[in-house]
Chain A
Amino acid sequence: METLTLLAQGFAVALTPDNLIWSIIGVTLGTAIGVLPGIGPATTVAILMPLTVGLPPVSAFIMFAGIYYGAQYGGSTTSILLNTPGEAGSMMTAVDGNAMARRGRGAQALATAAIGSFVAGTIGTIGLTFAAPLLVEIALKLTAPDYFALMVLSLATVTTMLSNPTGGGSIAFGIASLFFGLLLGTVGLDPQTGQARFAFGVPELLDGIDTVVVAVGLFAIGETLYMAATDGGKADSMHKLRGSFWMSREDWSRSWKPWLRGALIGFPIGAIPAGGSEIPTVLSYTLEKKLSKKPEEFGLGAIEGVAGPEAANNASAAGALSPLLALGLPTSSTAAVMLAAFQQYGLRPGPLLFESNSSLIWGLIASLYIGNVFLLVLNLPMVGVWVRLLSLPKPWLYGGILVLSSLGVYSLNGNAVDLVILWIIGMVGFVMRVIGVPIVPCVLGLILGPLIEQQLRRSLAISQGDWTVFVTHPVSAFLLLVALAFVATPIISSLRKPKPQSAVGMTR
């Protein structure tokens, strides 16, 4: 086991007092920026980079890795407590996490997110240690048709989320929401030709509408306005904290399998270039809902709906480091900044760096294990503190959410146009909430639409217009079949069933 020997040497590097302190600084900073929506790990590392010139490379990277992992932990906090997802990957966490918080189970939601992040982060790091080169080798075999099929599959799973968990509205509302999201996704430069679409001469719209802006607008702004409009009159009401802060036996038994499944979905998809964190969290959420004995609880505060996606999100973060370390390929903005940081020291990540500078790479990997432990130790006691936010009187809490959301969205790109979009989308979200249109399909349409379009057109450009590529590639054909099954099964089963009450599928 050569890997274990090298990893042991890595721990020897990472466990020196100096490097431990850099790791603590990194994870603390990372958690802090993760909690604030808007400022991401990429920006933070970029700002710190010129300041770390005097530091030994391994210490700088241990700190950067801490920031990266810490930001993944922090992201769930605002999603759960304030319904304000700071990044697309923590959007699915907001759905059931915030519902739990409203029912007085915020502490349990935070705890399952923190422990799930630890479990999945550690599994992901183990994957990074032992399987990264192999996995990246396999991931590189995937071509545009396979990506297209994976994204179509993700879109097909959205069908399970079309109905509104809080009741009211019809499937048609869900489909309308999805298509509104797909429409928003077409705004900006056409990925194939670079021509502007629906930009109306506004340069800020050329890069499209940021997913975070829409997610925060629909979740935080829309929901908060709705809450304020419906029970704003009761001046001193607050979210009740009920019972123990600790997870019950039932919470544990309902959490551990989603953690493991989330990690197993998140790591490989995070490792494929252009996999991202959104698709694994969506797939994990759908899977948990399908497997759950109580699918009706989803959307109303099912703990599996927090445990699974949060684990998938963290495991995908570990996965995303694989192409960077194994091949030197930056496939996310954080990875691009990390690559720049390596270059600052005249290093190029990749197979050769494992040989020429193994103590740096293995020290970095070892620090990921240590950082994960620090994050758990740092975050679990914080649960009790964070959850007290909910004891604020509602008018203050709602005011705070609106200010924090606006601040976070502004700090995303530093332009005021995003704020205008945020508030327009927020108003739309308010109306959607009033008439009972589910919001998740809209955000998923916005995320998946542009990805599907780009991969479809890339596939067809390479095949010179031959549509059969989608069925002649085995991976693509398989994924498309699964997607078809997803859409067709409910329709077929509803046709077969004798109808006790007519039009039951339409009114739900």
Chain B
Amino acid sequence: MTFTRRTALTALAAGSLLAVAPAQAQTIRSLDITVPGGPGSGLDQAARGIEEALRAEGINAVKVNNVPGGGGMIAISQFVTTKEGNRNAVVVQGAGTVFFPLTNKTPVTLADVRPLARLAGEYEVIAVRHDSDVKDFKDLMARFKANPGSVAWGGGSPGSTENIFFARLAKIAGMTPKQVNFIPHPNTGEVVVSALNGQATVVGGGLQDFKTQIEAKKLRLLAVASPERLPDADAPTLRELGYEVVFANWRGVSVHKSLDDKSANALADLFAKLVKSAHWKKILNDRGWLDLYLPEQPYQAFIADETRQAREILTELGLATQ
């Protein structure tokens, strides 16, 4: 029972002092995080990061629940059915969670939850083996235009982040997305291996995935898909090179659609405070993530925009379901 005398008194006080009390009454003391992915996955790491930062803020009752499978949609569907009205429950999502329902018929999509805040992420980068014949990004695109099939583009799962990213580059170069010889891989470790043994001409992914190899002079960066140059990456942005593409692998959180604005705002405030905390900044720094915080409204607009662009590309690739 949580209804103690103290909460009864608080409720009374809140009743008489509604104007000042609501923030108090809605203080979040625990959080239940659903993760659409197994332990060690990108979204899992984001959830564990949130857990760690909240603990540092004195919120110890944080539960992380891994629900892998179905491109993240099993987690979303479980969240929708079991967390109705739960004011302490959030579900983590990322770019893949938006793209997956576009390529496969799923009973739920991200439209079934209420996106609350984008938190962190990494801009996509393009790299080649250090001793590759490919001199720079311009050279890469020249080779691609001359003989599209000869360039093997390595990335993560089909129909997901890198597949869409490369397809957008192809379109700007005046080619069609289908001409990209995309080589999918089940995890980033294998993407790096494909770059190192040269079976992929070029690979895409987060900077952090390649950083160790770049420092060891085994891989070489060609370009980054960030709006401005990244401080710890010695490579031009795609914008500078005339390719207007900004592409990030981001992570955010959503709440259940049944929540009223007051409850949703309490959680939104929690995350707004979280992203400013010193411990969160340390986590971002340690893991090489960028602060990509967006509050509710712009976040939802961002998701709508991502969905529109991805649908267009995936339709051209022949991967989108109608």
Contacts and interface: CB of A to CB of B under 8 A. Distances in A.
Interface of A: 42-43, 45-47, 49-50, 53, 140-144, 189-196, 201, 203-204, 206-207, 273-274, 323, 327-331, 333-337, 339-340, 343-346, 348-352, 413-415, 454, 458, 461-462, 464
B160 A194 contact: yes
B7 interface: no
B242 interface: no
B110 to A, nearest CB: 14
Q: Which of B38, B55, B77 has the most CB of A within 10 A?
A: B38
Given A207-B70, A330-B40, A464-B150, A344 B189 contact: no
Contacts of A329: 189, 192-193
A352 B217 CA distance: 11
B39 A273 contact: no
B159 interface: yes
Interface stretch (B43-51, B114-122, B137-145, B297-305): B43-51
Interface stretch (B19-27, B166-174, B178-186): B178-186
A330 B187 contact: yes
Nearest to A347: B286
B57 to A, nearest CB: 13
Given A329-B192, A343-B287, A462-B199, A192 B184 contact: yes
Interface of B: 38-41, 44-45, 48, 51-52, 55, 62, 64-71, 73-74, 77, 103-107, 149-150, 152, 157-160, 181, 183-184, 186-190, 192-193, 196-200, 208, 211-213, 215-216, 285-288, 319
B286 A203 contact: no
B189 A273 contact: yes
Given A201-B105, A346-B286, A352 B215 contact: yes
A348 B159 contact: no
B112 to A, nearest CB: 13
8 contacts: A143-B198, A189-B104, A195-B103, A203-B106, A207-B70, A328-B213, A336-B189, A414-B66
Contacts of A192: 158, 184
Given A194-B103, A204-B70, A327-B213, A140 B193 contact: yes
B152 A461 contact: yes
A461 B183 CA distance: 7
A194 B39 contact: no
A461 B52 contact: no
A331 B196 CA distance: 14
B212 A50 contact: no
A53 B48 contact: no
A42 B189 contact: no
Given A204-B69, A329-B189, A331-B189, A336 B212 contact: no
Given A203-B107, A461-B183, A328 B212 contact: yes
Contact of A348 (B52, B158, B211): B211
A140 B195 CA distance: 10
A330 B188 contact: yes
Q: Which of A50, A343, A461, A464 has the most CB of B within 10 A?
A: A50
Q: Which of B40, B69, B159 has the most CB of A within 10 A?
A: B40
A337 B39 contact: yes
A144 B216 CA distance: 24
A351 B104 CA distance: 41
B223 to A, nearest CB: 22
A38 to B, nearest CB: 13
Q: Which of A141, A190, A346 has the most CB of B within 10 A?
A: A346
A323 B48 contact: no
A323 B188 CA distance: 13
A375 to B, nearest CB: 23
A191 B181 contact: no
A329 B48 CA distance: 21
A349 B181 contact: no
Contact of B70 (A206, A414, A461): A206
Given A352-B215, A454-B186, 20 more contacts: A46-B66, A50-B55, A50-B62, A143-B198, A190-B158, A192-B184, A203-B74, A206-B71, A274-B190, A329-B193, A331-B190, A336-B187, A340-B45, A344-B52, A348-B211, A350-B215, A413-B69, A414-B65, A415-B67, A462-B152
A46 B39 contact: yes
A28 to B, nearest CB: 20
A331 B190 CA distance: 7
Contacts of B107: 201, 203
A346 B285 contact: yes
A413 B207 CA distance: 30
Contacts of B68: 207, 413
B59 to A, nearest CB: 12
B197 A194 contact: no
B199 A143 contact: yes
A144 B199 contact: yes
B286 A335 contact: no
A191 B216 contact: no
A42 B184 contact: no
Given A194-B103, A273-B189, A143 B197 contact: yes
A415 to B, nearest CB: 6
Contacts of B41: 336
A140 B71 contact: no
Contacts of B71: 189, 203, 206
B66 A43 contact: yes
B284 to A, nearest CB: 11
B48 A195 contact: no
Q: Which of B107, B186, B187 has the most CB of A within 10 A?
A: B187
A45 B74 CA distance: 23
A351 B39 CA distance: 25
A329 B159 CA distance: 24
A206 B212 contact: no
Given A142-B197, A344-B286, A348-B211, A191 B184 contact: yes
Contacts of B52: 50, 53, 344
